[in-house]
Homo-oligomer: A and B are copies of this chain.
Amino acid sequence: MRRIRLSLAQINPVVGDLNRNARKIISYINKAKKLKAELIAFPELAVTGYPPEDLLLKPKFIEDNIDTMHKIKKASKGIVTIAGFVDSRDGLLFNAASIISNCRLIDIYHKKHLPNYGVFDEYRYFQAGNRYPVYSLNGINFGVNICEDIWYKNGPANIQALSGAELIININASPYHVGKAEFRKHLVSTRALENHVTIAYVNMTGGQDELVFDGGSFILDTLGKTILKGKQFEEELITFDLEFKNAGPGRNKKSRSGNALTAKKEKAEKIKIQSADSRGRKPALNVRKPVEMLLIEEVYNALVLGTRDYVIKNGFKTVVIGMSGGVDSALVVTIAVDAVGKENVHGLFMPSAYTSKESYDDAGATARNLGIKLITVSINSVFKEYLKTLSKSFKKTGPDITEENLQARIRGNILMAFSNKFGRLVLTTGNKSEMSVGYATLYGDMAGGFAVIKDVPKTMVYDLCNWKNSKERREIIPETVISKEPSAELKPGQRDVDTLPPYTELDPILKAFIEENKSVAEMKKRGYNVKYIKQAVEMVYHSEYKRRQAPPGIKITARAFGKDRRFPITNRYRSK
């Protein structure tokens, strides 16, 4: 039996903060060394954070990132360190992994499969790699590859396995969306089984603008079964003793004969790594099974982590949120409290003449349940003064959307004034259903730095509230908030259903249209209400200009607004 003690360092880097990322990486190296690990693997682009976007076009940034990798190299005494960074050869860039042993750079692996869809732009920056070496450490043969590389049947893992790799270390910066963790496990499991290899999958954790990396690193055996799984949505050093049977010669070829026909053999290359010091008695490892999360719990945790990291990594400490008494703002405040602590969350209730007594009570009850400060600032007198100022110019017109938007914009201005005066980040409260159809006011309720639930459909907003209340075993979001009819309260008796289809009908249409790119005819075939389909599609197309000016928010679905969906504003296409 051959044995290797392996550490997966599921860390949360900050994009661009090379020094901080290096300190963090080195501290994890030291932790792993204390546990007598022989090998430690960090996520994809752990040195720079992911995605660095157009920072990659700055030659000085690339240079600084390479210097940082060498700093990490010097700290890798007595351990093999694998860490993602950006390599540069003759001015061409590669999404790379350094293979460092005992302070020496043994090799650099270049990512082969570069994602250029969804939120990814890797062809914008990187060249594809074409070397798939197998390393040998203390008699164990392993290959290293990066993220998307593991998605391809005949990709790097297959070539490495055919060259004798028993273990594949796949380093990732794989962003979260609902169901992604299950999808990843299924896919990587197939790869393990096909190639009869053990796979160690290490993922990043943390929030970066629109993205949340959900961690959940794992190790699968050669049958694709999970040996070990890391925590989701938090940093962790996962250390484990992997055991490999002493196989006779020819074993590899035999067990992988099925794949041998399809793979390119010309790339086989073997590199022996000088044995890291693995002598001495090793401390026993305390491996616990992580608690499996419900999907709704995953979403909630993604929202908390995404919010926390956006606030903190951008140098803020406190946030301010407009509380209307409605369910969206109640959920956002709840998430914010879990993200940055109740003492750092400030609520603003900004009533007008159309605000109901119930809204006031509900906003107050939510604030009390969470233990946060709630300040009331009426918009009435400012609204009246605007109307007076505009009366001459508008004298021949009746009230319309203008006056509704004006109220929302006064609230936006007041929130921004609190932000400017006290240095608090404004969190907006619009959900995905509203963002999709443009049921929101630019510079009004859309004003703020971060849109927490921008990618959460309204029906899921309710699910999250109910889940949170039941998890806490008490009412956080008051039942009255959850059960009342949604209204923007911008004119007397206003209800969302006067303008929009009911959310239970709207949300499936939006999912089909936005996430699945279904046509009107296909949606009709599914039996969705034809009137609602047409209404929704027209509203989605028409409101592109609003979304272009929306703050970023956390991606939790298969297709979020932002980098994930790039749509022309000037667009006259209307699908049938």
A interface residues with partner B (beta carbon < 8 Å):
14-18, 20, 51-55, 57-61, 64, 116-117, 121, 123-124, 207-209, 309-310, 313-314, 375, 377-379, 381-382, 384-386, 388-390, 393-394, 397, 400-402, 405-406, 409-410, 412-414, 416-418, 420-421, 442-443, 447, 449, 517, 519-522, 545, 548-552, 563, 565-576
Q: Are A420 and B443 in contact (CB under 8 A)?
A: no
Cβ-defined partner of A57 (8 Å) among B116, B378, B517, B552: B517
A573 to chain B: which residues have CB within 8 Å?
15-18, 52, 55, 61, 64
Q: Are B377 and A519 in contact (CB under 8 A)?
A: no
Shortest CB distance A299–B (Å): 21
Among residues of B, the one whose C-beta sits closest to the C-beta of A397 is B421
Shortest CB distance A326–B (Å): 22
Cβ-defined partner of A17 (8 Å) among B517, B563, B572: B572
Q: Are A409 and B416 in contact (CB under 8 A)?
A: yes
A60-B575, A382-B382 provided; 10 other pairs, C-beta below 8 A? Answer: A17-B572, A53-B566, A54-B567, A58-B575, A121-B124, A209-B568, A400-B421, A410-B413, A412-B443, A443-B447
Decide yes or no: A59 and B385 within 8 Å by CB, A14-B570, A53-B567, A442-B416 being known contacts: no
Decide yes or no: A382 and B386 within 8 Å by CB, A123-B123, A576-B60 being known contacts: yes
Shortest CB distance A513–B (Å): 9
Q: Are B388 and A414 in contact (CB under 8 A)?
A: no
Q: Are B124 and A568 in contact (CB under 8 A)?
A: no
Cβ-defined partner of A381 (8 Å) among B20, B388, B522: B388
Decide yes or no: A568 and B382 within 8 Å by CB, A389-B377, A389-B414, A400-B421 being known contacts: no
Q: Are B572 and A16 in contact (CB under 8 A)?
A: yes
- How far, in whole Å, are A414 and B394 apart by their CA atoms in the complex? 11
Q: Are A570 and B519 in contact (CB under 8 A)?
A: no
Q: Are A406 and B417 in contact (CB under 8 A)?
A: yes
Shortest CB distance A374–B (Å): 12
Among residues of B, the one whose C-beta sits closest to the C-beta of A571 is B16
- Between A and B, 25 residue pairs with Cβ closer than 8 Å are A14-B572, A18-B573, A53-B567, A55-B567, A55-B568, A55-B573, A60-B575, A61-B573, A116-B116, A116-B123, A123-B123, A208-B568, A379-B389, A381-B389, A384-B385, A386-B413, A386-B417, A397-B421, A400-B420, A401-B420, A409-B409, A409-B443, A416-B443, A443-B443, A548-B551
